Structure 1
Amino acid sequence: MKQLPSLKQLQYLTALAETLHFAQAAERCNVTPSTFSAGIRDLENVLGVAVAERTKRTVFVTPIGLEIAERARRLLRDAEDVMKLASTQKEPMTGDMKLGAIPTVGPFILPKILPVIGERYPKLRLYLREEQTAVLLSRLRDGDLDVALIALPYSTENLTVRVLFDDAFQLACHAEHPLSGNETITDDDLINQPLFLLEEGHCLRSHALEACSLNNSPVRVQFDATSLQTLVQMVASGIGVTLLPQMAVDAGMSPTQDIRLIPLQRRTSRQIGLVWRASSPRVTEFELLAELFRNS
């Protein structure tokens, strides 16, 4: 039988491709630098090609090394899936699960659902990661995450999506703002208003604009923030207005009396969904997780 590279050797190569540093890659793989270097040499002997070029100061992964590293990542992810498949057959909802969540969803829903999950599935260990949607989906495809909690609509390509619930928007303005006396807010009310939004990269920005049909309208974005908390503080100062998702309102995001919350006349919302790789061996567990989110 033809000699094949080991998973350990492929793990070394992917670590080297990501760090471009032998000592750092060795530390990531929990081995000594000498063991790591020997493993890379052994891999090159098996493959019959050089995967790295070494100088006194720098390390370069060769073009063929980069291509092999990319394929190695998929092989390693599949190997991990094999182990997860075996463990789920023993007992579902046990072991480690890496859950990602976007910043405009995680803080408002996870504190409610995690105690329920912990009580119902005490052998499940959830590891949480908070990132913007694009980063979460990239990590999900690479196998760094098992499942992710995101807001829709968003392009998920070949990933599996389960919609959990709708999350409506409300206008938040200062109590003395001209719009504060309105019972509802129309799309026209917001044209040319000094609008506070999250910075580019947060899907809530596009969802908020879409909720009021403002994507192609003369919106005057007064301030870009990195968090909903900052938006609320700016509104409380009386400078402008913003759109808050209902889950943030329900979580007490705007408790101050200086802020008035007004529903939108055109009832629109974003959707909250759970997303995972279609090839994952834990699909049954993710469906159980989705049902827990819906019920809670």
Structure 2
Amino acid sequence: MEHYIYHVNPDKESKLFFQLWQPSAKPKAVICLVHGIGEHSSRYHEWAELFVEKNIAVVSYDQRGHGLSDGKRGVIPSYEILMDDIDFALKEVKKHFEDTPCFLYGHSMGGGEVLNHLITRKSNYLGVISTSPWIVTQEAPPKIVIPFLRTLSNLFPYISIKTSFDAKRLSHIEQVCIKYNEDELIHHMVSFRLFIDAYDAGYRVLKNPDKVKKPLLLLHGTDDQITDPNASKTFSEGVVNRCTYIQYNKAYHELHNEFCRLDVFVDIINWIETQLAENK
């Protein structure tokens, strides 16, 4: 396996930290991976290695305001900029793997982002993988509060607040939770704009299953305490003939770090193999 890290400018003001994992031989596919809120791409190192063993390359980056990328923690200029960053990441994929079939993969907030990208942007990836997506959060504020938060988002878009978070909700595996708490690159900051934009983006996804025009693999744990598996199920049922939806009984939020992780990995690999076979 070869592993590369580098910074690159998507615009004049910002640098994003990128990582690339690739097999020694020419890969049969490449995954563009978008991480969740508060975390960073290095948390997926072991997960990426599994794909490399199956001759699949992985390209990922730290989102703005996260990890080793520029930006105030938990602050975004706008959700559309996050969509632009995905476009930029896909260009990076093509730069390294010009003729290799690509899949867009997002987890949690990243899972919501890739769903939004799927329904609002054009791209040449073969399909999308979304795990535990932020469509609806389990602890979303009452709808009566949203107009107030929307006002704060307009008045103070770049002010962020620290949220409380129990890492035990990520996984049943204790070591995963311990490592998360000890990770110095993890943060728990969320700006009013980030929350409102992601909140709106989730409901945009929920209302537009008919706009899914490419194959979609949607995965969620039934006991996720962070994002709502029922929202994923409802969305999947509205996608005609293009969505494969799999639930994992008793699993928490981070399916790639859960007791069922190998089952999740096999399901992803099998789905990718199916898409590759159908697009020969």
RCO higher in structure (CA 8 A, sep ≥6): 1
Given the two structures, how large is their TM-score scaled by the length of structure 2?
0.30
Given the two structures, how large is their TM-score scaled by the length of structure 1?
0.29
Pick the structure with greater CA Rg. Answer: 1
